[in-house]
Amino acid sequence: MTGFFDIPSDLQHSWTGLIGLHMREALLPVAAGLLLALPIAQLCGRFRWLYPPVLGMTTVLYAVPSLAFFVVLIDYTGQTELTVMIPLALYSLVVLVPAIVDGVRSVPDETLAAATAMGFGPVRRYLQVQLPIAAPAIIAGLRVATASSISLVSVGALIGNQGALGNLLAAAQKYDRPELAVNAVVTMAVLAILCDVLLVGLRMLLTPWMPRGGTRPKPAARRAEITPEGAVR
Amino acid sequence: SSSGDTSDNPLDGEKAEAGTVVVGSNNFAESTLLADIYGEALRAKGLKVGYKHNIGSRETTYGLMKNGSITVLPEYNGSLLAYLDPEAGQESAEAVNEAVKAKLDKSLTLLESSPAEDKDSVSVNAETAEKYGLTAESTLADLKDIAPEMVIGGSPEFQTRQQGLKGLETVYGLKFKSFKALDAGGPLTQAALTKNEVQAADVFTTDPTIVKEKFVVLKDPENLFGFANVTPLVSKEGLPQEGVEALNAVSAKLDTETLLDLDAQVQLEKKDPLDVAKAWLKSAGLD
Amino acid sequence: MIRIDSVTKRYPDGTVAVDRLSLEIPDRSITVLVGPSGCGKTTTLRMINRMVEPTGGTILLDGEDIQRQPVTTLRRSMGYVIQNAGLFQHRTIVDNIATVPRMLGWGKQRARERAAELMERVGLDPSLAKRYPYQLSGGQQQRVGVARALAADPPVLLMDEPFSAVDPVVRKGLQDELLRIQDELGKTIVFVTHDIDEAIKLGTMVAVLREGGRLAQYAPPAELLSSPADGFVEDFLGADRGIRRLSFFPSAALELTTDAVVPADAGAALITATKAPHLLVTDPDGRPLGWAGRDELTAGDIRTDRLLPYGRPFVPGADSLRVALDCAVLSPVGWAVAVDGGGRVTGVVSQQTIGEAIRAAHTAGRADEEKVAG
Amino acid sequence: MIRIDSVTKRYPDGTVAVDRLSLEIPDRSITVLVGPSGCGKTTTLRMINRMVEPTGGTILLDGEDIQRQPVTTLRRSMGYVIQNAGLFQHRTIVDNIATVPRMLGWGKQRARERAAELMERVGLDPSLAKRYPYQLSGGQQQRVGVARALAADPPVLLMDEPFSAVDPVVRKGLQDELLRIQDELGKTIVFVTHDIDEAIKLGTMVAVLREGGRLAQYAPPAELLSSPADGFVEDFLGADRGIRRLSFFPSAALELTTDAVVPADAGAALITATKAPHLLVTDPDGRPLGWAGRDELTAGDIRTDRLLPYGRPFVPGADSLRVALDCAVLSPVGWAVAVDGGGRVTGVVSQQTIGEAIRAAHTAGRADEEKVAG
Amino acid sequence: MNVLNFVNAFFSDSAHWHGYDGIPQRFWEHLQYSLLALAVAAAIGLPVGLLTGHTGRGGNALAFVANAARALPSFGLLVLAVLLIGFGLLPVMIPLVVLAVPPILVTTYEAVRSVDPAPVDAARGMGMHESRILFQVEVPVALPLILSGLRSAAIQIVSTATIAAYVSLGGLGRYIIDGLYQRDYEKVVGGATLVAVLALLTLAVFWAAGRLAVSPGVRRR
Ligand SMILES: Nc1ncnc2c1ncn2[C@@H]1O[C@H](COP(=O)(O)OP(=O)(O)OP(=O)(O)O)[C@@H](O)[C@H]1O
Ligand SMILES: Nc1ncnc2c1ncn2[C@@H]1O[C@H](COP(=O)(O)OP(=O)(O)OP(=O)(O)O)[C@@H](O)[C@H]1O
Ligand SMILES: [Mg+2]
Ligand SMILES: [Mg+2]
């Protein structure tokens, strides 16, 4: 009963079950964030005046502690996964919107002019030129969003067993079993790194056109990776 | 001994699934243990049982009981009354139960109380006890003069409850130097007491560390913390008659000594609460 | 024909980029817009494919106002080539080139075949087809840009400083390539540059713009060199106007003399018979060896190791008077050596004769101009 | 004197950037390194101030191995100017220029005074002193770069393609400025460029490098033009070698004739007396108006509205034979007009006379070369 | 159920304005935790970032370390640290520092790396010493980006320092945790608002720092 993988029964899940739950609670919001961020970023790209206020708002949102979000949401969505996932989706949004906007903006003017001159309409130009070229920046954003999402799910433990692997942390305290906390931290870190590796692989798959090795990625991609709050620049 | 098998996925959905009895618990070890005991007893009677563990404080769980998310919750009768009606006096366990039932939401009711009692208490650590000469015979009233020099700890909700800082002030006139938010009698509380970060704290009377760490539990002559008999709070609709009977049978067999022993198994021997619950039910012939 | 009719562009911030500009751009020829930075060249070019909308005036394409056509149709009928090629970095070379055909609904196979054909046309190795733009040199990228613009065989090609980002040697190659392609395809090309030499080399007509988007002069390059409209154009043309203008005069009509050419093994009689002050000595194949001076002539004996260098020869049919003059000037004796394609001497010509030819060409040029003016 | 002695640089990745290069760089003159991209020019330059350490050979500065000096001392004794100037964008112009003096421990006041002095020297308006680099044009930035390099009055100036990022007109201005400054200061300048025209214009000596960092030719520009060492150098020099070489021959010795010059109000007698085939007509101040043709000469009456354009005049003292020839070629009658600094005609000269002068210059040049060789 | 009502109620309750549980005290505690964590993180991230950025070496290792650090969950580290070390400031500082080091480190590295190599080259050619090149040429130009890394770290710290309350320390997180257990939304929303206000203050401070410290020559780019 004190082993590394002996999960207390009140968590209702085996270790692998917790992992599955954790990934779902962490990744669905990122996916939702991406789906939301694309049109928002598109709007920000279209109407340049929109970008600064959107950035400002998202930064304030980002500063609101996750726990406060969870607590306020309990009344609307109850003690459910949704309560955890909604704030995480919002945080992902905060990271992804600037990443996409910057990525799309990083497309060289010449390339855009060439596309326009060839008779690309705005939609086709966005889908076939801007978005693919912005892919590295978007994936860089996804990497940050995914890592932070995986980490933040654990805070859900505070609102009653909604933290997946994070519940192990609460259990570690309740039953004074540090090994459970170690288990939680290490598992989450490994999951985050695995996701990161997968995303890097995805980028390589999507961008055979990027110079490999030695050559550094485009500044926009880099930027998204280094300033997660992306915002306020 | 992990327990992915205990339910489908109780975390899904807001309302309890029709026909499933959802047993909830608050975020401390004993509550989990009691929930497991109730749940397994019900399961032994062939009911479909789901768990919603570690929810948080009574403030939260009561809401979930009301809206039907939880069917069964281990409660402490006097503490519940103090939550429902902070002004109410507590003369006897029966009177308390009647008063609670009167105040309860229409959809809820209390089943039979068990003799097992686990009260909130104000305990001081050994150092403080020595300093002020406090013994097992000392009462809360003895703190009157020294309270302003003391930091008291307790779960965050202790700060605002009648059976907490409020009551200590109104009933005993105690005004502490400050309040330090800890957990519900859990490891934070123990650590804070042993490290003397707080001099007094809200400790459950069944807490095995009281003995281990030589905490001194102060007497409560005004009965502020009232009665705290383990009592199942249930939803009238959600629990069928055989369930009611099963839980009453459990209550009949559960006394304070047993509870102390079970708590120690979980908290000191680090056994899984579900295993402890099952083992006890078996030994008590309730499975 | 593209007709730019009193077109004005005032940007929202008040900058007047182009001011009542009128140009007639002839079909199947290269028209160059040249001028200092910011004089409105790019703006003018982009108004032709409506990437910039004029604030005044009209542009007619084959007599029809370009405003009448749907903008994407108009653009697809015009290739567009820009500095750094503006390639799609996320697509292979062949896919870059096939972009417009694919957009026009061609099948994948057909579009790729067309792309392969164009790669050959612009001088790109087929092995580059599957590469991505970053794997190509600047010059190669620029070639891809040209191929992409030509892909759907548009009648009009708009080129905005296409070669200005590559180094001088590569640029020269690209210019030659463009002239060759134009010879084969005969597109209507509007070419923007700020390099007057490029303008003179490529343009059938050259429009010199000045600050504020006003036309300073619109003329064929030779005329530009001989009669700049004003000080601005003259300054812009820079030095050597006279000599550079000679590029437009062929050297074919030069009267060559063979009197002064002798083979190295010629006898003394032949040598002393010559009246020329210098003798060009050739090898048995007729290739030039060098000039023999007066002293040797009188001696009647040629010592090939003491010959003066003959500089470089010119090819009368292919080279212009400019080359001929340069050869004469470079020659220590002032005579230029003419050779055929095989490098065999066909005669020599004195600087003086070249001077006369230049004068004759001037006169003919002036007569032409007067005819045009009249 | 800087002496580069059989220097080799092999980068860690195996690239041999410079291969056994030996050069003697004379004091107080501009030595230009020129060659195609990647031929090791930058590497060579940077070995002189030890920003790259050679893997073989030695470099001597005034006879002493540069390895002997502390590297910072060495560098502070050499100004270094690069493309885009490499200005410190966070410092004002005056602080940029004062960087090295400040580093050498000068007082703030003195360093700023020095900076102001240098701004004037390189032709920057003092009002720019407090600006930041981004507020300057490319040409102005480049001037600041030069001023900064000159600030501590180093005997040596290393310049790596300093003017290649600015447009041709500005570049010409900067080149002229550099020549003027060099006239005044007499630094030992090593100048890297890939533009052969710039090399010829600026260099006292020109080293042409070829791929792999090997020296193709090291000679004064006139010699380079007249006798390229091999096909590589010849190709690199490009067309017009002969004519460009004329830049090195002054036009002062040209024999002018005033016989063919008449004022517009000259009487018929004067006109008909002239034997020249054409007459240059001047206004009362002596400024050229144009050429009168034979017809008018015989008529004995000049109609100024029918004169032929005189092209452009040259100034015998200041301009080279190249300009004189260009003027003659541009002139419809084949005669160049010589004027003084004030634009008044001092005579005319036929293309033929210029041709003779060219030949004479060639002969003199050859004699010189032989003298040097002997 | 209106958030604005909560905010209003929270801030107009005079009881929230004094004492050990008053807003000034909690705000001050939060500020202390944040500043301390930022200072420690900066003390680790800045020198390493500057050095690797200047030499251009170790960039890959650095990216790996930063990514790995980012993968560590703050809340998990907190609980683990408390379990292993016990109470006090240290277990709170560990997750906050781990959280803040990656943005500082990577941004600083990137900032120095992305400085235009031409002026650096020119400086070296003038005979500047390497340390001088770093501090007088590279850092002034890299400053805006370095500051943005610090700012990013600071905002994350301010937001995350709320977890200190979970292990019974003070700070603005107190309101949120207490509010959760006491079912008191006023407190939760009030606490969250205070955190957001502190985050905005942080932004303002960094904006001002940028104005003051970044040369106009760099800023106007
Ligand atoms: N979108 C715009 N809004 C405002 N002004 C503009 C815009 N585009 C160009 N201009 C201005 O219009 C003028 C002409 O610009 P244009 O790009 O046509 O010049 P250009 O001749 O192509 O110059 P360059 O040789 O530098 O490319 C310039 O003064 C420029 O600053
Ligand atoms: N640090 C380096 N490591 C490896 N190879 C290098 C390095 N620097 C330069 N080279 C190589 O050495 C050769 C010479 O480079 P260098 O920069 O001296 O050429 P360059 O003549 O200045 O060219 P450019 O005109 O393009 O500036 C090139 O092939 C280049 O790729
Ligand atoms: Mg332009
Ligand atoms: Mg170079």
Return residues 249-268 of D near C (CB < 8 Å): none
D90 three-state secondary structure = coil
Q: With 90 as the cut, is the pLDDT of residue A62 above it?
A: no
Q: Where are the beta strands (DSSP E) in C66-225?
A: 78-82, 156-160, 188-193, 205-210, 214-219
pLDDT number for residue D32 = 97
Q: Give the C-alpha separation, C68 to A156, whole Å.
A: 61
Quote the tokens at residue B63. Answer: 């809401």
Q: Do chains A and C touch (3 or more CB pairs under 8 A)?
A: yes
Q: With 80 as the cut, is the pLDDT of residue B281 above it?
A: yes
Structural domains in chain C, CATH included, are 2-248 (3.40.50.300), 261-358 (3.10.580.10)
Q: With 80 as the cut, is the pLDDT of residue C91 above it?
A: yes
Number of domains in chain E: 1
pLDDT number for residue B251 = 92
pLDDT number for residue C317 = 85
What residues of A are in contact with residue B192 (Cβ under 8 Å)? Answer: none
Q: Give the C-alpha separation, D107 to D101, whole Å.
A: 8
Q: With 90 as the cut, is the pLDDT of residue A66 above it?
A: no
pLDDT number for residue D301 = 67
Q: What is the CATH number of the domain that holds A124?
A: 1.10.3720.10
Percent of chain B predicted with pLDDT > 70: 94
Confidence of residue C127 (pLDDT cuts 50, 70, 90): very high
Q: Which of E26, E17, E4 is nearest to E165 (CA)?
A: E26
> The complex's ipTM?
0.81
- A8 assigned to some structural domain: no
> Residue A117 is nearest to which of C73, C80, C133, comparing CB atoms?
C80
Q: Give the C-alpha separation, C53 to C9, whole Å.
A: 8
Q: Does A164 touch chain B (CB under 8 A)?
A: no
Q: Give the C-alpha separation, C253 to D368, whole Å.
A: 37
Q: What is the CATH number of the domain that holds E70?
A: 1.10.3720.10
**Which of the two residues, A78 and E82, has the higher pLDDT score?**
E82
How many angstroms separate the first and last alpha carbons of chain E?
47
Q: Is A167:A208 a contact under the CB 8 Å cutoff?
A: no
Number of domains in chain A: 1
- The distance from CA E89 to its chain's CA centroid, rounded to whole angstroms, is 17
Sign of CA dihedral A164, A170, A171, A176: positive
**Which of the two residues, D364 and C324, has the higher pLDDT score?**
C324
- A232 assigned to some structural domain: no
Determine the atom of ligand 1 nearest the C-alpha atom of C16. 12
Q: Tell me the per-residue pLDDT of C30-79, one tens digit each, with 9 for 90 and over.
A: 999 999 888 999 999 999 999 999 999 999 999 999 999 999 899 989 99
Ligand 2: does its nearest atom lie under 6 Å from the Cβ of D350?
no
The stretch D359-372 carries a mean pLDDT of 72
Confidence of residue C368 (pLDDT cuts 50, 70, 90): low
Q: With 60 as the cut, is the pLDDT of residue A219 above it?
A: no
Q: Does E179 touch chain A (CB under 8 A)?
A: yes
**Which of the two residues, C299 and D102, has the higher pLDDT score?**
D102
Give the mean pLDDT of chain B: 86
Q: Tell me the per-residue pLDDT of C246-282, one tens digit each, with 9 for 90 and over.
A: 888 888 888 898 888 888 777 777 776 777 778 888 8
Chains that touch E (3 or more CB pairs under 8 A): A, B, D
Q: Which of B95-99, C365-369, E149-153, E208-212 has the lowest mean pLDDT?
A: C365-369
CB contact under 8 A, B272 and A9: yes
pLDDT number for residue D220 = 95
Q: With 80 as the cut, is the pLDDT of residue D296 above it?
A: no
Instruction: Kindly give the distance from the C-alpha atom of residue B125 to the centroid of ligand 2, in angstroms, as a whole number.
Output: 76
Domain residue limits at A54:
13-226
Domain residue limits at E167:
3-219
Helix and strand counts by DSSP (H, E) for chain C = 15, 15
Residue position matching structure tokens 């080399």 = C201
Quote the tokens at residue C333. Answer: 């004796």
Quote the tokens at residue B98. Answer: 């009647």
Determine the atom of ligand 2 nearest the C-alpha atom of D192. 22
pLDDT number for residue E10 = 83
Q: Is B177:B149 a contact under the CB 8 Å cutoff?
A: yes
- A4 assigned to some structural domain: no
**Probe residue for ligand 1, chosen from C7, C10, C11 as the CB with the greatest number of ligand atoms within 8 Å:** C11
Q: With 50 as the cut, is the pLDDT of residue A231 above it?
A: no
Q: Is E62:E52 a contact under the CB 8 Å cutoff?
A: yes
CB contact under 8 A, C359 and D239: no
Q: Tell me the per-residue pLDDT of E138-149, one tens digit each, with 9 for 90 and over.
A: 999 999 999 999
Quote the tokens at residue D78. Answer: 């050499």
CB contact under 8 A, A160 and B54: yes
- The distance from CA B163 to its chain's CA centroid, rounded to whole angstroms, is 12
The stretch C132-149 carries a mean pLDDT of 92
pLDDT number for residue A186 = 94
Q: Give the C-alpha separation, E191 to E174, whole Å.
A: 8
Confidence of residue A233 (pLDDT cuts 50, 70, 90): very low
pLDDT number for residue B59 = 82
Q: Give the C-alpha separation, B199 to B218, whole Å.
A: 12
Q: Where are the beta strands (DSSP E) in chain E?
A: none
Beta-carbon count within 10 A of C187 CB: 21
Q: Tell me the per-residue pLDDT of B82-134, one tens digit each, with 9 for 90 and over.
A: 888 888 877 888 889 999 999 999 899 999 999 998 888 899 999 999 999 99
Alpha-helical (H) ranges within E13-57 are 23-55
Q: Does E174 touch chain B (CB under 8 A)?
A: yes
Q: Give the C-alpha separation, C288 to C263, whole Å.
A: 9
- Dihedral angle, C-alpha C179, C185, C190, C193, nearest 10 °: -20
Quote the tokens at residue C193. Answer: 């540059």
Q: Give the C-alpha separation, A164 to A151, whole Å.
A: 11
pLDDT number for residue B5 = 37
pLDDT number for residue B7 = 37
- Which residues are D308's β-sheet partners? D291
How many angstroms separate the first and last alpha carbons of chain A?
51
Q: Tell me the per-residue pLDDT of D55-114, one tens digit each, with 9 for 90 and over.
A: 999 999 999 999 999 999 999 999 999 988 899 999 999 999 999 999 999 999 999 999
Q: Give the C-alpha separation, C324 to C246, whole Å.
A: 9
Q: With 50 as the cut, is the pLDDT of residue B6 above it?
A: no
Q: With 90 as the cut, is the pLDDT of residue D201 above it?
A: yes
pLDDT number for residue D85 = 87
Confidence of residue D364 (pLDDT cuts 50, 70, 90): confident
Indicate the pairing of strand C156-160 with strand D156-160. Answer: unpaired
Q: Is D324:D314 a contact under the CB 8 Å cutoff?
A: yes
Q: Tell me the per-residue pLDDT of E1-54, one tens digit each, with 9 for 90 and over.
A: 577 788 888 888 877 787 778 899 999 999 999 999 999 999 999 999 999 999
pLDDT number for residue D83 = 87
pLDDT number for residue D111 = 95
D291 three-state secondary structure = strand
Q: Return the biggest CA–CA distance within chain D.
A: 83
**Which of the two residues, A131 and B19, has the higher pLDDT score?**
A131
DSSP state of C193: E
Q: Does D351 touch chain C (CB under 8 A)?
A: yes
Return residues 186-225 of A near C (CB < 8 Å): 207-211
pTM: 0.84
- The distance from CA A11 to its chain's CA centroid, rounded to whole angstroms, is 26
The stretch E158-167 carries a mean pLDDT of 89
Please name the residue of chain A whose CA is at the shortest distance from the CA of residue B273: A9
